Structure 1
Amino acid sequence: MIFESNASDKITPYEEYPYLVYGRVSTEKDEQVSSLENQIDICRNWIEKNHFEWKEQAIVLDEGITGTLLLDRAAMQLILQKSKKREIKMVVFKSIHRLARDMKDSLEIRETLLGHGVRVVTIEEGYDSLYEGKNDMKFEMFSMFAAQYPKTISVSVSSAMASKVRRGEHIGPIPFGYKSVDKKLQINEKEAPTIRQIFKWYNQDNIGFKTIARYLNDEILAGNASISKPRKKQLWQITSVQRIIQNPTYAGIFVYNRYTKVKIEGRKKQIQNPQEKWIIYEDHHPAIISKEEWKKANNKNIRKFKTRITPWNEFRSLLRCSECGSNMIIMQSYKKKKDGSRTEWKYLKCSAFRRGGYQYCVNHTPILYENFREFVLAELIKKGESIAVKFENNTEKVREKKIAELKKRIAILQEKNHRLIDLHIEQLITKEEFIEKRSEYEAEINHLKNDLFLSSQEKQKEMDIKSIRQAFEKLNEKDQDLHHAFKTVIDYIVVHPDGQIDFYYRFDD
């Protein structure tokens, strides 16, 4: 799309000047929504003041996404893609705060845009790469301030949270067994008996997590009113029972600063802080069980049991149960022989059945992992041979189908948009309805055009075909770890209880 300048004289070095206006809000709160309108208004004022024609289609937005997470920002990724394809010549931001809140990301975005001849304008800081030239200091200084802002906010929020905890208030989700009264935890007398029963089974009867989950579900199904269902699911699972056992909240203890968030490869991840950084508040709220009960449950000598190591699974995230849709996982077992040696084997099992037994799913016919891997390899190699010539066309067919659907949808919306004028002239709709509907259509058309742009990139098509071809070639190396090859070729595999297997490929129409 081409946007022309309104100026009669040559105010810019371009007669035709494609540009984009970028806006971002980190939450969907009302004040942030207003901020988005403010960003667009400021950018529009700059565009018109500098004699460019304002186009609503030039707006690209990242809504509800923090500026510290570059990889999650689809609109920003679209800008970078368009700059690399030489599709734009300028990007306008209200401020560097909107561009990014991470200094490394800010500099990387700027270098990418400038490296592809894109003019960068941040209005509040008065930065314009067309006039700044190679002077990076101004941009770097404001980027540093932008990066420091979320850290300052984080410190302020942490201090406020710590103050609430010291006052006896609860922060975070309300744990099962409790309710919130005046921001403080109070015992939920309906759910608390379930907590006490879990600890009794675990401490006094020496029953494990899985059996406790089964007992709880049996009691619920039998209509025992003293046992409550978990809040988010209909039945109890192993992990839910384990979290309750390990949670000191039930002993009246609140642990603050146990977790923190760090940025890893462009994304935020929650990690546990070292114990010396934890702030522990004893008797913070009413306890459902005694401290002695909690310590007994969490000081069991579990080391006497051998640590169970999860077997390596080359099909992780690719196998699905046909009955419940849960992942199929790899289990391992062994049998000791009279001479002291033992025979080991691995087999497939539905993860839902493993967690909760027949209350969650059915037990599949045992399939040995080695036999399953050998069967899948044979099927894939056979598939590769049958499509060696045509799989490139299959990949292109899927892409062309998507492009055709996008074009069809755009054409339909454009036709509806044109018809709005007739409806307004004939007074079948009011002026307000006309403006509202037109904005809705134009926004959706713009979104679909961006999808069409990304789907039409020849480079991405070549990368897909190349990776699929390499994956099929890799399958001949049977002694190697083939997880990446499997994931490239296979979309998912459905495993039925009787052992039947259905393949779904990434390149099929």
Structure 2
Amino acid sequence: MSTTYAVYVRVSTDKDEQIASVENQMDICRNWLERNGYRWDENQVFKDEGISGTLFLERPSIQLILEKAKRKEIQMVVFKSISRLARDLKDSLEIREVFMAHNVRIISVEEGYDSQKEGKNDMAFELWSLFSAQYSRTLSAGISAALAAKVRRGEHIGKTPFGYDKTDGFLRINEKEATTVRMIYRWYNQGWGYKRIMNELNNRGIKPKLIDKWQVTSVQRLIRNPVYCGDFILNQYTTVKRDGRRKQIRNPPEKWLYFKDHHPAIISRTEWQIANRKDDNVSRRKVTPWNEFRGIAKCSECGCHMVIVQSYRKRVDGSTVHWKYLKCSKWRRGGGCVNHQPITYEAFRSMILNHMQKKGESFPLLLTNQLEKRKQDELFQYRRSLKRWKRRRKRLLELYLDRLIDKEEFEQKRTEVDRQIRAIYDQISILKKKEYREQHMESLREAFECLQEQNQDLYEFMRTLIDEIRVYPDGATEVDYSFEMPVQ
């Protein structure tokens, strides 16, 4: 048969038994294809390996298959079971809708599902998708129950905390590290701050368990962790899916599973409670200022994010003057980088806004030219690469005809060349999609207009217009705009 098909396989972990199931899925699909008169083509196999079926947007192969369906490049997609396609009911039905809208036949071998026979309004696919989604939830609940049972037996789940060793699943006090833990709590209850404790530990050459130096956050987490008074909390966090991606959120305290006196304590419960008094935490904690450049502004030396460090000075009249400076987060956490020349957040914000407004004056001509130049440059690179692979395919055929290589070697190398050529055609096709460029231009235009309202939060607009800002130790900056080609 001449029908162009795609075979989709997926495994959710990198374990050996899961890796072997890739071959198992391929064999099942190949058997169905050959029994139904199709010629097996391994180049039409698309794999998502080590990726959960609940994370739709993080699966590049299924995304490529959907793109091929929209471009009418495939007429049929085959997979072992609907659980391989997706384990989220909404995603599974959305994928089916795309295939059906573009007349792509769907084959799920294990369930015996064939969209050509079932028709567009069948309930079979929806029921199997529901079962698959329920299985994923049941599996997750089973794992959670098993973990809770282990914790009830006194076993520790997760990384071994500083101050302890783990033997046969149970925590045992490491006396050398425990001495440091007791010292940290004593210092903190005497009024020391996190940074002072961090500096003292590093100056004494005391190393944490997993990294080379203590950081502010590692000291803070140690003090906040109830594990040191013998307690263990399970179910503090839940992994949820938002916009097709996995995100970890903190559960409300009423959902926590609190195991009191779970393991040997390093400090007394009273000492832990003193360190974690709510009123004391509020008085010590500085409110983190809002940073419109979070994730965008980075240190030129180490690549870490630039964060806001606050400073203040009391005037003679008793009032307080506050400053906010941008500093390398790696330096702030405990060294390992340079201390940048002080630049206030307000001065930095004003400087970047001035740059952006100057760019906006030549918009949209600049934007249109840059986008078109970027597209043409990328197309040129792909087309040049395409010519190279086509020449390679021609030379390969000449070698075979001149009997310089045998048929087996010829077929093997030609398969790889054809795969590369198809991949380049895919990229060229995606690049030519005009609607994406138009949407991108419109979002940039709106962002430039919003920059005029300087009193509002500009974070989202900065993310739209800027890829990265590199801040140098002397205060100089270098900006990569999302709409400009980098200087060659």
TM range (shorter): 0.7 to 0.9
Cα distance, 1:405–1:32 mapped onto 2, change above 3 Å: farther
Cα distance, 1:175–1:459 mapped onto 2, change above 3 Å: same
Shift of 1:64: 0.7
Shift of 1:198: 1.4
SS in 1 for 2:128: helix
Following the alignment from structure 2 to structure 1, what is the Cα–Cα distance between the partners of residues 210 and 400? 48
Question: Does the aligned pair in 1 maintain the 2:43–2:415 contact within 8 Å?
Answer: no
Following the alignment from structure 1 to structure 2, what is the Cα–Cα distance between the partners of residues 449 and 60? 16
The CA deviation string for residues 41-99 of structure 1, in whole angstroms up to 9 with x for no partner, is: 22222233333333222222111111111121112222233333333332222211111
What is the match of residue 139 of structure 1? Answer: 125
SS in 2 for 1:494: strand
Question: Does the aligned pair in 2 maintain the 1:57–1:446 contact within 8 Å?
Answer: no
What is the match of residue 504 of structure 1? Answer: 480
Shift of 1:262: 2.4
Question: Does the aligned pair in 1 maintain the 2:4–2:75 contact within 8 Å?
Answer: yes
Following the alignment from structure 1 to structure 2, what is the Cα–Cα distance between the partners of residues 270 and 494? 29
The CA deviation string for residues 175-230 of structure 1, in whole angstroms up to 9 with x for no partner, is: 22222222222233443332222122112x3211111111111111xxxxxx2x22
Shift of 1:350: 2.5
Cα distance, 1:50–1:457 mapped onto 2, change above 3 Å: farther
Structure 1 range deviating more: 380-389 or 94-103: 380-389
Following the alignment from structure 1 to structure 2, what is the Cα–Cα distance between the partners of residues 430 and 189? 69
Match of 2:445 among 453, 462, 469: 469
Match of 1:488 among 464, 468, 472: 464
SS in 1 for 2:116: helix
Q: Does 1:234 align with 2:219?
A: no
What is the match of residue 394 of structure 1? Answer: 370
Give the residue type in structure 2 aligned to 1:460: Y
SS in 2 for 1:80: helix
Q: Does 1:148 align with 2:124?
A: no
What is the match of residue 333 of structure 2? Answer: 355
Q: Does 1:370 align with 2:346?
A: yes
Shift of 1:378: 1.8
Following the alignment from structure 2 to structure 1, what is the Cα–Cα distance between the partners of residues 147 and 384? 52
Q: Does 1:323 align with 2:301?
A: yes
What is the match of residue 10 of structure 1? Answer: none
Structure 1 range deviating more: 124-133 or 382-391: 382-391
Following the alignment from structure 2 to structure 1, what is the Cα–Cα distance between the partners of residues 56 and 137? 17
Structure 1 range deviating more: 267-276 or 175-184: 267-276
The CA deviation string for residues 261-301 of structure 1, in whole angstroms up to 9 with x for no partner, is: 22333223223333333333334333332333222222363
What is the match of residue 231 of structure 2? Answer: 253
Cα distance, 1:180–1:378 mapped onto 2, change above 3 Å: same
Cα distance, 1:251–1:446 mapped onto 2, change above 3 Å: farther
What is the match of residue 209 of structure 1? Answer: 194
The TM-score normalised by the length of structure 1 is 0.84
The TM-score normalised by the length of structure 2 is 0.87
Question: Does the aligned pair in 1 maintain the 2:235–2:251 contact within 8 Å?
Answer: yes
Structure 1 range deviating more: 450-459 or 116-125: 450-459
Q: Does 1:42 align with 2:23?
A: no
Question: What do you get for the CA RMSD once the two structures are aligned?
Answer: 3.2
Following the alignment from structure 1 to structure 2, what is the Cα–Cα distance between the partners of residues 428 and 20? 30
What is the match of residue 56 of structure 1? Answer: 42
The CA deviation string for residues 468-497 of structure 1, in whole angstroms up to 9 with x for no partner, is: 333333333334433222222211112223
Shift of 1:414: 6.5
Following the alignment from structure 1 to structure 2, what is the Cα–Cα distance between the partners of residues 231 and 399? 49
Q: Does 1:458 align with 2:434?
A: yes
SS in 2 for 1:191: helix
What is the match of residue 153 of structure 2? Answer: 167
Cα distance, 1:425–1:214 mapped onto 2, change above 3 Å: farther
Following the alignment from structure 2 to structure 1, what is the Cα–Cα distance between the partners of residues 287 and 482? 31
Cα distance, 1:246–1:423 mapped onto 2, change above 3 Å: farther
Identity of aligned residues (%): 50
Cα distance, 1:214–1:410 mapped onto 2, change above 3 Å: farther
List aligned pairs for 1:281-430, cutoff 5 A: 281-299=259-277, 301-302=279-280, 305=283, 308-333=286-311, 343-356=321-334, 359-386=335-362, 388-409=364-385
Following the alignment from structure 1 to structure 2, what is the Cα–Cα distance between the partners of residues 501 and 262? 37
Following the alignment from structure 1 to structure 2, what is the Cα–Cα distance between the partners of residues 429 and 214? 68
Following the alignment from structure 1 to structure 2, what is the Cα–Cα distance between the partners of residues 417 and 231? 55
Cα distance, 1:61–1:291 mapped onto 2, change above 3 Å: same
Give the residue type in structure 1 aligned to 2:292: E
Question: Does the aligned pair in 1 maintain the 2:100–2:120 contact within 8 Å?
Answer: no
Structure 1 range deviating more: 91-100 or 498-507: 498-507
SS in 2 for 1:286: coil
Following the alignment from structure 1 to structure 2, what is the Cα–Cα distance between the partners of residues 423 and 299? 80
Question: Does the aligned pair in 2 maintain the 1:424–1:430 contact within 8 Å?
Answer: no
SS in 2 for 1:91: strand
SS in 2 for 1:492: strand
SS in 1 for 2:365: coil
Match of 1:158 among 144, 151, 165: 144
Following the alignment from structure 1 to structure 2, what is the Cα–Cα distance between the partners of residues 409 and 88? 24
Cα distance, 1:168–1:391 mapped onto 2, change above 3 Å: same
Cα distance, 1:284–1:442 mapped onto 2, change above 3 Å: farther
Give the residue type in structure 1 aligned to 2:298: R
Shift of 1:304: 5.9
Cα distance, 1:47–1:449 mapped onto 2, change above 3 Å: farther
SS in 2 for 1:262: strand
Shift of 1:332: 4.5
* Unaligned segments of structure 1, at least 5 residues: 7-16, 221-226
Following the alignment from structure 1 to structure 2, what is the Cα–Cα distance between the partners of residues 26 and 424? 44
Question: Does the aligned pair in 1 maintain the 2:154–2:262 contact within 8 Å?
Answer: yes
Question: Does the aligned pair in 2 maintain the 1:424–1:434 contact within 8 Å?
Answer: no
Following the alignment from structure 1 to structure 2, what is the Cα–Cα distance between the partners of residues 303 and 161? 31
What is the match of residue 70 of structure 1? Answer: 56
Shift of 1:134: 3.0
Structure 1 range deviating more: 401-410 or 139-148: 401-410
Give the residue type in structure 2 aligned to 1:309: V
Give the residue type in structure 1 aligned to 2:122: D
Structure 1 range deviating more: 370-379 or 440-449: 440-449
Question: Does the aligned pair in 2 maintain the 1:330–1:347 contact within 8 Å?
Answer: yes
